[in-house]
Amino acid sequence: MIKVWGRKTSSNVQVVLWCLAELGLEFDRVDAGIHYGVVNTPEYLAMNPNATVPTIIDGDNPPMWESAAINRYLARQYASAPFWPADPVEQAHVDQWAEWAKLNFGLNFSVPVFWKVVRTAKSKQDPEAIASAVVKLNGIAQIADRQLASHQYLTGNNFTVADVMFGHLLYRYYTIDIERTGLPNIARYYEDLQTRPAYREHVMVNYDELRAGD
Ligand SMILES: N[C@@H](CCC(=O)N[C@@H](CS)C(=O)NCC(=O)O)C(=O)O
């Protein structure tokens, strides 16, 4: 049995839980992070010196952290093509989009946009900085939108780990109060993701506990 430490409202936990569920893997989850605590205990720090979530332990293996590395491990260990192709060239194609999702879209969304809109008190928000971060993000999103114009999923016509890495960010992208225009193919893709039971359960999670208030 795989054990996962991390609160359900952490996007980095969600990406792992969604991956586990898509692969049909059972797991036990322990709440950890922000007001749930745990992450600063000596026991947790011995598993994950970053004091962040998620951390997983699979059976007798050592603890693992970093959500993208965890999902690559899960894919290598438990998945096959097309979710995680065996051929190195096909694998790199999936992996480049997984990496793109985390580094290009994710880094330009989570802190400069989501954090500033949801996790910053209204009185402390900087509307101009948010607006310019959204313009930058939507420019990056155009790259995925163009790809999705001719493909059902990010890497082609099959659902892969790259879709987990990108798609988990879209629930928050589409449910916060920001400008979203000219991304018709991502909108279609997001509609499609919402039909997946594992997406609904692990990604479409209320994040009110993160709100900073006024
Ligand atoms: N690069 C790490 C980032 C981990 C991370 O920063 N997690 C956040 C939650 S999304 C965290 O632990 N924040 C502190 C907390 O929840 O207590 C990963 O992808 O796993």
pLDDT at 146 over 90: yes
- Return the residue matching tokens 């000219």: 182
What percent of the chain stands above pLDDT 90?
99
pLDDT for 166: 98
pLDDT for 213: 79
Q: Is the pTM of this model over 0.95?
A: yes
Q: Report how far ligand 1's centroid is from the alpha carbon of 27 (Å).
A: 19
pLDDT for 57: 98
Give 81-132 pLDDT, tens digit per residue. 999 999 999 999 999 999 999 999 999 999 999 999 999 999 999 999 999 9
CATH number of 88-203: 1.20.1050.10
Q: Which two tokens stand for residue 115?
A: 């954090």
Question: Which sequence spans correspond to the domains of the chain?
Answer: 2-78, 88-203
Q: What crossing angle do the helices spanning 11-22 and 161-175 adopt, rounded to 10°? A: 130
pLDDT for 88: 97
Q: Report how far ligand 1's centroid is from the alpha carbon of 12 (Å).
A: 6
Domains 2-78 and 88-203 share a fold: no
Determine if ligand 1 sits within 6 Å of the CB of residue 52: yes
Surface-to-core class of residue 181, CB atoms within 10 Å of its CB (0-12 exposed, 13-18 middle, 19+ buried): exposed
Evaluate whether 145 touches 186 at the Cβ level (below 8 Å). yes
Evaluate whether 197 touches 136 at the Cβ level (below 8 Å). no
Determine if ligand 1 sits within 6 Å of the CB of residue 133: no
Evaluate whether 199 touches 21 at the Cβ level (below 8 Å). no
CATH number of 2-78: 3.40.30.10
Mean pLDDT score, 13-29: 98
Nearest CA to ligand 1 atom 16: 33
Mean pLDDT score, 57-85: 98
Give 154-184 pLDDT, tens digit per residue. 999 999 999 999 999 999 999 999 999 899 9
pLDDT for 10: 98
Q: Report how far ligand 1's centroid is from the alpha carbon of 144 (Å).
A: 24
pLDDT for 214: 84
Ligand 1 atom with the shortest distance to the CA of 10: 10
Give 22-57 pLDDT, tens digit per residue. 999 999 999 999 999 999 999 999 999 999 999 999
